[in-house]
Amino acid sequence: MTPETKLKVAAEEIKEVLKKHDIAASVALHTPGHGEYFVHLNPSYSCAYMYNDEEVRFHSKRADYKTPEEQLEKKTSTANMLKVLTDVTVFNFGILEHLSKTFDKLTGATHLKVKK
């Protein structure tokens, strides 16, 4: 199994765990020379859904909810989910960026170019 395939398989397994436990996530995976990142934004409490790998849509028409309160609750939960995932991702980025720069400075490390 190639490193890229290994990460894709792991990502799909993680997505299944997230679905099983009805939770959202922002996930970064690594194997030497390769990285994989994904967000899972469609637990039952969210009005967001992944339309495809690069597009998120929001489903929140009044007609789709029994009450205005139910619609508001889902919008509120979605807003909270996006804010918390953003804040945690920014926090993790800050820590990892500091560690990476410190390690590079201490060791003279060089890096592979990231494929887009």
Distance in angstroms (rounded) separating the CA atoms of residues 78 and 115? 31
Q: Is 114 part of any domain? A: no
Q: Report the number of distinct structural domains present in the chain.
A: 1
Domain membership flag for residue 113: no
pTM of the model: 0.85
Distance of alpha carbon 20 from alpha carbon 43, whole angstroms = 10
Q: In the predicted model, is pLDDT for residue 114 greater than 80?
A: no
Give the per-residue pLDDT at 14: 97
Q: What is the pLDDT of residues 23-67, one digit of tens each?
A: 999 999 999 888 999 999 999 999 998 877 788 999 899 998 999
Give the closest residue to 24 by CA, choosing from 51, 62, 50, 58. Answer: 50
Please indicate, yes or no, if residue 34 is contained in any of the structural domains: yes
Does residue 115 sit within a domain? no
pLDDT for the residue 113: 63
* Cβ neighbours for 9, distance < 8 A, ≥ 6 positions apart: 1
The answer to whether the CB of 75 falls within 8 A of the CB of 69 is no
Owner of token pair 């969210």: 46
Instruction: With a cut of 90, say whether residue 112 has pLDDT above it.
Output: no
Domain of residue 75 covers: 3-107
Q: Is residue 46 part of a domain?
A: yes
Asked if residue 112 belongs to a domain, the reply is no
